[in-house]
Amino acid sequence: MRGLAKVRRSHGAMEFVDRSRPSPAADEALVEVDYAGLCGSDAGIYEFESAFERMDLPTVIGHEYSGRVVEVGENVTKFDVGDRVVERPIRGCGDCYQCEIGESNVCQNAVITGVDHDGAYEQFVAVPEDALHPVPDSVEQQHAAMVEPTSIAARAVIENSRVTAGDRVLVEGPGPIGLLTAQIADAQGGTVVVSGVGQDAQYRLPLAEELGFETLNVAEADVEARREAVTDGVGYDVVFDTTGHPSGLPSAVDEVRKGGQIVLVGQTGETTMPYSPLVRSEIDLQCSYASMYDDFDRSLRLIDSGDVDAETFIDDRFSLLDADEAFEAFVAGETCKPVFDVSALYD
């Protein structure tokens, strides 16, 4: 079978490689992949950011996907051939302190599908039974491919934020996680504004508006005046920084009200700012990373109910046979959530 792999430690460098069809171990199921999404971390691999230096190339990438079980190992009891599934791609070791206390999303020894071992941009993947999550009949298979990013947003909003009905919420960054976060914060009863920068004006901010949100282009608008108007001069109750940019946290501090909350979801790297204003305003600074079983469960229900609008959100214009086009469009902000039909790779 063919897989789309990162083959060199440089920008781009994505090529098709040959892989043998894997045989599932006793505790694994063999999954045939139907649809797979393009994530910000996949784009990071494409650009080969420093966080991915640990990869042993060539590696087939992709970790957001939906598929069907086609074979099971002898010890598998929860899944049968024909079951539709998604994978929880961050696999905890089960033995470290974090795993023992139920925090496997921050496992000390975690491995990630599509980074530390071959991922979903190929026909078949062998997955441990305990890393799989069933997909209900009511959720379309293409829509199920976005359960994993939805679960990250669900954890950020439902588990790690204090958004409640009537709260004024700012989501910085109209990328995939930002727009999913906005939809879930809206479902929680928040009044949500989505902000972006100049390159977001072509596709991502218009998509946010199509999803029903007021938007703010910080490259053009009077940000302070908009905050004054939206929040009656108080500031936003909760600000989610999903930008992954060094400017995200400093601008969040400017936008949040005294006693409010900032939730960091995007991985910024380094930023420099004065921290005294956070202390003097008693701002709650909360981080949110990855997701767990209950976040996946909630995400399937959010997609099923329509609180997360998968149909509008998904961009299916791109093919894995010409994936560079999708990656370059993603990096340029010309798309938000490409989802590939992986059957294009099938022989």
Read off the pLDDT band of 167 (50, 70, 90). very high
Exposed / middle / buried, residue 26 (Cβ in 10 Å: 0-12, 13-18, 19+): exposed
State the Cα–Cα distance between residues 101 and 107, nearest whole angstrom: 10
Question: Which residue do the tokens 């022989």 mark?
Answer: 347
Which amino acid is residue 139, in one-letter code? V
Q: What is the dihedral of CA 271, 275, 281, 286, to 10 degrees?
A: 50
Q: Tens of pLDDT along 88-141?
A: 999 999 999 999 999 999 999 999 999 999 999 999 999 999 999 999 999 999
pLDDT at 235: 97
- On the question of a cis peptide bond just before residue 58, with omega within 30 degrees of 0, the verdict is yes
Q: Tens of pLDDT along 191-224?
A: 999 999 999 999 999 999 999 999 999 999 999 9
Contact 87, 28 (CB under 8 A): no
Judge whether residue 158 has pLDDT over 90: yes
Tokens of 206: 């218009």
Query: What's the average model confidence in pLDDT over 140-160?
Result: 98
pLDDT at 51: 86
Three-state DSSP class for residue 170: strand
Read off the pLDDT band of 186 (50, 70, 90). very high
Q: Tens of pLDDT along 16-68?
A: 999 999 999 999 999 999 999 999 999 999 999 988 999 999 999 999 999 99
Contact 244, 266 (CB under 8 A): yes
Average pLDDT, whole number, for the chain? 96
Read off the pLDDT band of 291 (50, 70, 90). very high
Three-state DSSP class for residue 86: strand
| pTM confidence score | 0.96
Closest by alpha carbon to 284, among 257, 307, 315? 257
Q: What share of the chain is helix, strand, coil (3-state, %, to 5)?
A: 35, 25, 40
Residue 11 pairs in a beta bridge with none
Query: Can you say whether residue 42 is alpha, beta or left, with left for phi > 0 and alpha for psi between -120 and 50 degrees?
Result: alpha
pLDDT at 347: 72
Judge whether residue 314 has pLDDT over 80: yes
